């Protein structure tokens, strides 16, 4: 919401520098986003009178003018403009002057003829034809303003000397979307009297019999409707004071009637509409719901298909306005309009908001209606419009006012309890001071109740009253205190576990990333998911920003691959990354909220990265989390992973996740020109299998005994099986078993491989005897033989 | 005989000095002091001497043996020293050669800042509570005093999943869920991802992180709100931070405020960083609206409270001088390695 300082001064005597004004309004709750002093940069541009126009001796397209700028001697100016006549009054930028955009103007020679300044166009003053409709777009701004004096500063001559403030108005303060509403805040902030004006309408015209009838069929949706007819309308340019004020408010001038409706809306906050009576067929205005498939072409030329929820203002046959949003094109004010109906009404906020949303049409009017309008403002606003029409000679107002009032006369009373307000704010403000603050806001205190004025639709409860007191007392005058009572803040076990995961990953050399939760079907295609793969069953956003961000991901692997790809394509040689990422899984019952699963996703590529290295990271990580009995089982079924290089990570037969190399086609789809690896673990499963109650076990002082067994087995047997055979057969002295020296080729039969297992044995209470060692080894060898695995001779 | 012994001593000394290797010197030990050594041979002949001569010769032989022994040990040490020196010389490396780098990973900058924020609030007795990102309209809006078609919903452009399910636009929904389950006293912050339908650019993102806090207890006042948030801001930005509270409006708090910190660049004079305002807005807050308490089954006649919300990206951008929000989600390692 803009505010013109000059307009504000109609209501409050205020004369403070713009900066101070902005600061104090901001601190009392009306935030000034910025302000602009009109013509601030303009310097040494004055009103001049063209005395003569001669041809330029050396240029066909230029002329040489003598211009009176109020000095004893006229100055010579060369120009290419075509719209000049002798005796025209024009803005003249003198030697050493500055234009609105900061350009400096100096004396200059044009084809040998000296030019001592420049005559200005609207644009050079920072204006447009909507500010001065009589001026030409491309040419010198020839002034038609009354009372301009030669030599007068141009800004004062054309009223370009306002200060424009831009306010951020919060949704609860619809009343402040008006000059009067803001003036009330200014008056309360600076403790100055608010001078309201009571419109005076002469209303000399008379309505013909049956000229108009108003029927409100939707009393709830239109609790108040008022209208007035204006005859002998002369559509034309608005008077200067209207144009100036509209300009400062950022509203273009259209014609006197439209300008007046805008003027009143800005001043009173009451949206107004003017219909051409010629198009009110049947001489009746009906406030009703739209019929199915009814259409209206609004003022902006767009056609809207209406539905039965839309409230319309209609003539006997069809809608002439989408109520509270925008008027229809055909019934709008034309150049030849002679009789108009002025409307000032209240439409239901929700109905207006719904219509505005459904028809994607947001207007100054709809914004005000949806925030709530003061019923007691309708008639004064209507009268103000009539007064302005009479003042500017735009038409003759009829004496009759149509009023259909179905509103409830509700007076809002809120109990006034200064003691509890003081306690709540921790201040000590006297009853009188509180009463004084409230009275500045037109809130009266009667019998320990605050009587809320009808325009303050936001004041409903005791907290609202406390806020009004607090903001004028000053938030920053309220003391600051620490919270009382003992309260012990802590992380939950799950939160600590997640921190542990992050710390372990970081110490392994992986960096943490953060990716968007969105995906698109495209990424599922890249992952090679078949059409009805369960991961394609994503939660869809009804109103996404674009296809790329239209789904909530069911797998964070795609997000990781995008990051790996972008790093690869930025020529980063290595990447080892991880994320604690959420995946969003639909539930069978669509009314339930989806499951948000937390995953640990790690992604790798780079010169020294291979499956073994990634597996090493994973093993170190699982050990750090005290997850003990994990194992790796080959899995060739996951479509986006390399079928021969993927394992399930299991713990007590529960799947913790996977470790894998990415499928070559997937790499290609993501634009990764190198092998990449993924660890994908379910954090909940990790948490369930992690060991938390750590207790110290004695360091055994007896030595370990190590034996190597070289074995021959089928090539296809996973070495993990060999380890398991040892673990299951060795008995109590087994401490550890590792596998190394895997060999195929010469000396080994075809289809076989040689594997050496290193067995480490130890007893907790004595040095192992040869007998104990040999019997352990024998048990192991026997177990191998049962599995057709023999010792290599 | 004496001469012979002297001669052995002199030759031995010469030979020992001339040796270069440990093996040669060991041979000399055998040659002179071994079972068949020259000095041993003389001792074997000692019976031939008279009783008077025996002790003299014996002593002389012992002296010479000690001497040779000593010389050999000295020789060994010398040779060993020289071998060691050669080895050390040979093993000299160029210490300016690069190491085999073992990198430690980097925490994401948003989480570094989030950890700091959590630590501050844990210290003030707050718990950390998380909740779903995909939420019911009720928890995100209605319970927070924003019924359907409330104009304040416009300030939070929302992604919808269905008519009643949406991507949360704030983490206050976690507070509602907590209040429904817990009676006061409550002290909590709820950090997490929130979603708003904003096109991606340097300062906007459809997804960002919010930290919202809630305190509900008997007799919580507006000045507790001020004190708590001032403590937070000073812990985050330094004790010399200047803070101001400015009236504002949120549907779920009343009175409401926005909190500005005096611009670090210009100390309030106005500069480019603060768009000439002298102040930088960092959080929104207010006393919990009685309707919100009522919606959660908390009696607003007995309890009062305050709530606040702060954007994580904004704090992190300020701390690290990051000028483009997109960097947080692009995850280029050259970015990540800086934190």
Give ipTM to 2 decimals: 0.87
Hey, are the CB atoms on B333 and A572 less than 8 Å from each other?
yes
Angle at A51 between CA A79 and CA A72, to 5 degrees: 105
What is the chain A residue with the closest CA to B291?
A461
Contact between chains at A545 and B106 (C-beta distance less than 8 A): no
> Best interface-test mutation with A: which of B116, B123, B138, B249 has the largest number of A CBs within 10 A?
B249
* pTM confidence score: 0.86
pLDDT over 90 at B264, yes or no: no
Chain centroid to Cα A706, Å, comes to 67
Distance CA A465, CA A418 (A): 10
Residue A589: partners with Cβ closer than 8 Å, 6 or more residues away: none
Residues paired with residue A595 on neighbouring β-strands, in sequence order? A585
- In A10-73, the DSSP E strands lie at 31-37, 43-55, 63-68
Nearest chain A residue to B228 by CA: give it: A482
B132, B330, B336: residue with CB nearest A566: B330
For residue range A54-91, what is the model confidence (pLDDT) as tens digits? 999 999 999 999 999 998 899 999 999 989 999 999 99
Is the CB of B111 less than 8 angstroms away from the CB of A502? Answer: yes
Question: A519-549: b or e for each residue (b if 16 or more CB lie within 10 Å)?
Answer: bbeebbebbebeeeeebeebbebeebbeeeb
Cβ neighbour number for residue B135 with a 10 Å cutoff: 26
- Please give the CATH topology (third level) of the domain spanning B109-336: BirA Bifunctional Protein; domain 2 (3.30.930)
Q: Is residue B295 pLDDT above 80, yes or no? A: yes
Where b means 16+ CB within 10 Å and e means fewer, A91-124 reads: bbbbeebebbeeeebeeeebeebebbbbbbbbeb
Q: Residue B128 region, left (φ>0) first, then alpha (ψ -120 to 50), else beta? A: beta
Say how far apart CA B117 and CA B119 lie, in whole Å: 5
- Substitution target in A437, A484, A487 with the highest count of B β-carbons within 10 Å is A487
Count other C-beta atoms under 10 Å from residue A787's C-beta.
15
Cis, bond preceding A285 (omega within 30 deg of 0):
no
CA atoms within 13 A on the CB side of B266: 13
CB pairs under 8 A between A and B: 240
Beta strands per DSSP E along chain B: 127-128, 134-136, 165-167, 186-195, 207-218, 243-250, 253-262, 279-288, 303-311
Centre a 10 Å sphere on the Cβ of residue A237 and count the other Cβ atoms it contains.
Answer: 17
pLDDT tens-digit readout, B212-256:
999 999 999 999 999 999 999 999 998 888 999 999 999 999 999
B75 Cα to chain A: minimum distance (Å): 41
Q: What distance in Å separates the CA atoms of residue A351 and residue A324, rounded to the nearest whole number? A: 9
3-class DSSP state of B40 = helix
Whether residue A463 and residue B254 make contact (CB cut-off 8 A), yes or no, is yes
| Residue A317: exposure state from Cβ atoms within 10 A (0-12, 13-18, ≥19) | exposed
Q: Which of residues 106-165 of B touch A (CB under 8 A)?
A: 106-108, 110-111, 118, 121-128, 132-136, 149-152, 154-155, 159-162, 165
Residue B215 touches partner A, C-beta closer than 8 Å: yes
Residue B187: HSE in the Cβ half-sphere, 13 Å Cα cutoff: 24
Per CB-CB distance under 8 Å, the chain A contacts of B159 are 541-544
Q: Give the angle subtended at the CA of A278 by the CAs of A274 and A284, to the nearest 5°.
A: 80
Closest residue on chain B to A427 (Cα)? B223
pLDDT at A208: 86
> Cα–chain-centroid distance for residue A501?
34
Q: B90 is written with which tokens?
A: 């040979």
d(CA A280, CA A310): 20
Rounded Cα–Cα distance for residues A132 and A342 (Å): 25
**Which among A636, A630, A605 is positioned nearest to A618, based on CA atoms?**
A630
How many CA atoms within 13 Å lie on the side-chain side of A600?
27
Nearest CB to B108 within list A492, A514, A540: A514
Looking at residue A388, its pLDDT comes to: 97
- Rounded Cα distance between B204 and B324, Å, is 9
| Cα gap B245→B108, rounded to integer Å | 31
The answer on pLDDT for B8 being more than 90 is no
> In which residue are the tokens 């051409």 written?
A276
Element (H, E) at A287: strand A284-289
Q: Which of A170, A511, A542 sits opposite B248 (nearest CB)?
A: A170
For residue B131, list chain A residues with Cβ-Cβ distance below 8 A.
none
Confidence of residue B277 (pLDDT cuts 50, 70, 90): confident
Q: Does B248 touch chain A (CB under 8 A)?
A: yes
Token pair of B321 as six digits:
């001088």
Q: Do B161 and A512 touch (CB under 8 A)?
A: no
Interchain proximity A470–B222, CB inside 8 Å: yes
What was the pLDDT predicted at A114? 93
**Residue B130 corresponds to which tokens in the numbers above?**
């998380």
Residues of chain A falling short of pLDDT 70: 590
Q: Which residue has the higher pLDDT, B120 or B269?
A: B120
Residue A45, SS3 per DSSP: strand
Q: Are A632 and A645 in contact (CB under 8 A)?
A: no
* Nearest-CB residue to A545 (from B199, B231, B287): B199
A504: closest CA of chain B, how far (Å):
10
CB-based contact A234:A338 (threshold 8 Å): no
Chain A residue with the nearest C-alpha to that of B192: A582
Locate the domains of chain B by residue range.
2-90, 109-336
Domains of chain A: 2-38+163-190 (3.30.56.10), 43-157 (2.40.50.140), 213-405 (3.50.40.10), 412-477 (3.30.56.10), 493-689 (3.30.930.10), 705-791 (3.30.70.380)
Residue A713 to residue A657: CA distance in whole angstroms: 29
């Amino acid at each position: 919401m803009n505010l013109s300082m000059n307009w504000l001064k109609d209501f409050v005597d205020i004369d403070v520098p713009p900066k101070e004004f902005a600061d104090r309004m901001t601190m009392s709750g009306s935030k000034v986003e910025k302000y602009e002093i009109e013509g601030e940069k303009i310097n040494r541009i004055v009103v001049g009178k063209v005395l003569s126009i001669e041809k330029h001796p050396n240029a066909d397209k230029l002329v040489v003018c003598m211009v009176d700028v109020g000095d004893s001697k006229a100055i010579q100016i060369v120009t290419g403009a075509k719209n000049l006549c002798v005796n025209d009054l024009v803005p003249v930028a003198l030697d050493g002057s500055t234009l609105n955009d900061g350009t400096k103007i100096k004396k200059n020679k044009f084809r040998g003829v000296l030019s001592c300044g420049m005559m200005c166009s609207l644009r050079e003053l920072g204006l447009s034809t909507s500010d001065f409709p009589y001026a030409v777009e491309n040419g010198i701004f020839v002034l038609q303003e009354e009372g301009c004096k030669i030599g007068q500063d141009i800004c004062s001559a054309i009223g370009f000397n306002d200060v424009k403030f831009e306010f951020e108005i919060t949704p609860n303060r619809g009343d402040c979307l008006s000059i009067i509403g803001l003036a009330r805040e200014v008056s309360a902030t600076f403790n100055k009297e608010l001078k309201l004006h009571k419109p005076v309408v002469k209303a000399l015209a008379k309505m013909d019999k049956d000229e108009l009838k108003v029927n409100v069929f939707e009393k709830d949706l239109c609790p108040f409707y008022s209208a007035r007819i204006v005859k002998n309308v002369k559509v034309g340019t608005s008077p200067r004071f209207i144009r100036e004020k509209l300009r400062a408010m950022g509203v273009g001038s259209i014609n006197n009637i439209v300008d007046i409706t805008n003027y009143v809306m800005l001043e009173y906050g009451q949206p107004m509409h003017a219909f051409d009576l010629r198009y009110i067929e049947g001489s009746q205005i009906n406030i009703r719901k739209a019929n199915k498939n009814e259409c209206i072409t609004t003022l902006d030329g767009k056609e809207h298909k209406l539905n039965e929820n839309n409230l319309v203002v209609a003539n006997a046959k069809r809608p002439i306005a989408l109520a509270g949003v925008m008027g229809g094109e055909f019934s709008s004010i034309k150049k030849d309009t002679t009789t108009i109906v002025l409307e000032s009404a209240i439409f239901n906020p929700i109905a207006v908001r719904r219509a505005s949303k459904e028809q994607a049409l947001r207007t100054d009017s709809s914004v005000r209606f949806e925030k709530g309008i003061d019923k007691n403002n309708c008639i004064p606003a209507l009268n103000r419009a009539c007064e302005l029409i009479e003042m500017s000679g735009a038409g003759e107002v009829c004496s009759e006012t149509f009023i259909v009032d179905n509103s409830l006369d509700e007076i809002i009373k809120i109990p006034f309890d200064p003691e509890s307000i003081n306690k709540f704010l921790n201040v000590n403000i006297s009853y009188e001071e509180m009463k004084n603050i409230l009275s500045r806001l037109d809130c009266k205190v009667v019998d320990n109740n605050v009587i809320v004025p009808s325009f303050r639709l936001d004041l409903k409860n005791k907290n609202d009253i406390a806020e009004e007191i607090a903001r004028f007392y000053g938030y920053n005058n309220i003391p600051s205190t620490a919270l009382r009572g003992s309260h012990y803040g802590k992380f939950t076990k799950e939160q600590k576990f997640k921190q542990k995961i992050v710390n372990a990953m970081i110490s392994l050399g992986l960096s943490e990333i953060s990716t968007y939760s969105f995906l698109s079907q495209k990424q599922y295609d890249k992952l090679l998911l078949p059409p009805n793969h369960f991961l394609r069953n994503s939660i869809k956003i009804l109103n996404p920003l674009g296809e790329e961000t239209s789904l909530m991901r069911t797998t964070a692997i795609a997000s990781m691959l995008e990051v790996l790809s972008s790093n690869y394509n930025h020529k980063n040689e290595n990447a080892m990354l991880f994320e604690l990422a959420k995946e969003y899984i639909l539930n069978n019952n669509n009314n339930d909220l989806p499951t948000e699963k937390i995953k640990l996703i790690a992604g790798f590529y780079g010169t020294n990265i291979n499956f073994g290295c990634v597996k090493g990271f994973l093993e170190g990580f699982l050990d750090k989390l005290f997850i003990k009995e994990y194992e790796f089982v080959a899995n060739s079924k996951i479509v986006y992973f390399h079928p021969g290089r993927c394992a399930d990570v299991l713990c007590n037969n529960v799947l913790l996740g996977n470790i894998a190399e990415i499928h070559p086609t997937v790499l290609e789809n993501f634009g990764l020109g190198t092998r990449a690896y993924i660890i994908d673990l379910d954090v909940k499963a990790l948490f369930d299998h992690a060991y938390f109650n750590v207790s110290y076990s004695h360091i055994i002082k007896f030595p370990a005994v190590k034996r190597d067994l070289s074995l021959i087995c089928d090539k296809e047997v996973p070495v993990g099986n060999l380890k398991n055979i040892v673990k299951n057969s060795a008995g109590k002295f087994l401490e550890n078993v590792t596998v190394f020296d895997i060999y195929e080729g010469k000396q080994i039969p075809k289809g076989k491989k040689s594997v050496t297992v290193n067995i480490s044995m130890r007893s907790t209470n004595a040095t192992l005897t040869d007998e104990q060692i040999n019997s352990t080894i024998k048990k192991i060898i026997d177990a191998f033989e049962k599995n057709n695995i023999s010792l290599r001779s | 005989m004496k001469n012979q012994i002297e001669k052995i001593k002199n030759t031995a000394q010469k030979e020992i000095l001339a040796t270069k290797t440990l093996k040669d010197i060991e041979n000399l030990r055998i040659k002179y002091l071994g079972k068949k050594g020259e000095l041993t041979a003389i001792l074997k002949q000692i019976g031939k001497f008279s009783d008077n001569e025996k002790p003299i010769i014996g002593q002389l032989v012992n002296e010479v043996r000690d001497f040779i022994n000593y010389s050999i040990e000295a020789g060994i040490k010398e040779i060993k020293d020289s071998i060691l020196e050669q080895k050390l010389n040979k093993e000299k490396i160029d210490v300016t050669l690069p190491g085999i780098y073992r990198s430690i990973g980097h925490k994401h900058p948003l989480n570094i800042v989030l950890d700091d924020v959590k630590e501050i609030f844990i210290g003030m007795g707050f718990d950390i509570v998380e909740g779903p990102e995909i939420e019911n309209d009720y928890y995100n809006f209605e319970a927070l005093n924003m019924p359907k078609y409330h104009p304040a919903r416009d300030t939070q452009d929302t992604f919808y999943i269905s008519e009643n399910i949406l991507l949360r636009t704030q983490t206050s929904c976690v507070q509602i869920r907590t209040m429904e389950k817990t009676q006061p006293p409550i002290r909590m912050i709820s950090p997490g991802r929130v979603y708003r339908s904003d096109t991606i650019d340097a300062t906007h993102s459809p997804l960002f992180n919010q930290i919202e806090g809630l305190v509900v207890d008997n007799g919580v006042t507006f000045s507790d709100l001020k004190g708590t948030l001032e403590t937070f801001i000073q812990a985050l930005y330094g004790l010399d931070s200047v803070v101001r509270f400015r009236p504002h409006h949120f549907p779920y708090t009343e009175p409401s405020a926005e909190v500005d910190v005096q611009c670090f660049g210009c100390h309030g004079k106005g500069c480019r960083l603060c768009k000439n305002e002298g102040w930088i807005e960092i959080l929104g807050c207010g006393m919990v609206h009685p309707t919100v308490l009522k919606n959660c089954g908390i009696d607003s006649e007995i309890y009062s409270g305050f709530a606040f919300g702060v954007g994580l990206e904004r704090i992190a951008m300020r701390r690290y001088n990051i000028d483009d929000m997109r960097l947080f989600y692009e995850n280029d390692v050259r970015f990540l390695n800086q934190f």
